[in-house]
């Protein structure tokens, strides 16, 4: 009888221990669920906040390295003007003009004799400007530096800023990223003065692609009252038969104002691939007028 009583007590202790373990696990699961919900609804970082932090941080970095006398408040103003362009809009219905207030917020400084445009040669163009510190691409300007490589969009009826699920470059014509680069590139071209240069991919059958940003936006915004000429740097691999007589380059000449002096140089021995990106961080250098 004593043995049976002791066995009963042991059995009850086991049941109590098991109950305590189960209730402990349930409490732990509940606390984890509540923590996740709290982060998601109250304290968690949002894509919009992350993008704003990146934009403002890049802006301040650029100003510190290039324009230390400029107030950092400009970065907050730039974010506000930038966000107004696309927040609450259909991501396929953001016109180029939506970025006008942003362009007016950030003055586009003239860079006489220092402007380098590019098409299908982004990597090479930036390698070139690293060596020739006085040359500047659109990505070396404040707005280009800030937004290079980023993706963003809004949603109809939403105050949110999104960095995923946004339309790609070719998915729709008036997507936020494409419209931004169209507007910034137009301003960059319009402010170009003196002799400018463009780096084109001589490994392609059509170096001057009529659908490129350079052809469809930048060339159309050249201002011949302040710009004096354009030098084409036709880069190609050593064994490529790149030629300044390419028919697409003749189209480029015809598209230019007759007042602009046109030159073309074949530059070989570059490590170039035919699959260069079309748009997209490096601060620009300073210096006097460059020769290319």
Mind telling me the catalytic residues?
112, 193
Q: What is the 3-state secondary structure (H, E, C) of the chain?
A: CHHHHHHHHHHHHHHHHHHHHHHHHHHHHHHHHHHHHHHHHHHCCCHHHHHHHHHHHHHHHHHHHHCCCCCCHHHHHHHHHHHHCCCCCCCCECCHHHHHHHHHHCCCCCCCCCEEEEECCHHHHHHHHHHCCCCECHHHCHHHHHHCCCCCECCCCCCCCECCCCCCCCCCCECHHHHHHHHHHHHHHHCCCEEEEEEEECCCCCCCCCCCHHHHHHHHHCCCCCEEEEEEEEECCCCCCCCCCCHHHHHHHHHCCCCCEEEEEEECCCCCCCCCCCCCCCCCCCCCCCCC
């Amino acid at each position: 009888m004593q043995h049976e009583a002791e066995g009963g007590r042991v059995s009850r202790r086991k049941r109590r221990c098991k109950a305590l373990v189960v209730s402990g696990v349930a409490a732990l699961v509940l606390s984890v669920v509540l923590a996740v919900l709290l982060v998601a609804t109250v304290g968690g970082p949002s894509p919009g906040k992350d993008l704003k932090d990146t934009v403002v941080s890049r802006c301040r970095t650029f100003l510190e390295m290039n324009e230390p006398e400029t107030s950092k408040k400009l970065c907050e103003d730039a974010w506000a003007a930038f966000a107004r362009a696309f927040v609450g809009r259909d991501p396929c219905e953001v016109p180029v003009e939506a970025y006008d207030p942003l362009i007016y917020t950030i003055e586009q400084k003239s860079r006489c004799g220092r402007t380098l445009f590019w098409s299908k040669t982004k990597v090479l163009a930036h390698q070139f400007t690293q060596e020739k510190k006085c040359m500047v691409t659109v990505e070396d300007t404040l707005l280009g530096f800030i937004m290079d490589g980023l993706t963003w969009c809004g949603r109809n009826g939403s105050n949110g800023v999104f960095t995923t699920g946004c339309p790609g470059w070719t998915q729709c014509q008036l997507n936020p990223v494409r419209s931004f680069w169209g507007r910034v590139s137009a301003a960059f071209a319009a402010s170009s003065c003196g002799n400018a240069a463009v780096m084109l991919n001589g490994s392609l059958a059509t170096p001057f692609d009529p659908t490129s940003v350079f052809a469809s936006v930048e060339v159309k915004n050249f201002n011949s009252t302040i710009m004096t000429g354009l030098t084409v740097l036709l880069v190609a691999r050593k064994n490529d038969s790149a030629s300044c007589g390419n028919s697409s380059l003749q189209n480029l000449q015809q598209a230019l104002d007759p007042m602009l002096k046109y030159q073309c140089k074949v530059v070989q021995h570059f490590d170039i691939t035919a699959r260069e990106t079309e748009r997209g961080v490096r601060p620009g250098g300073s210096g006097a007028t460059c020769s290319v």
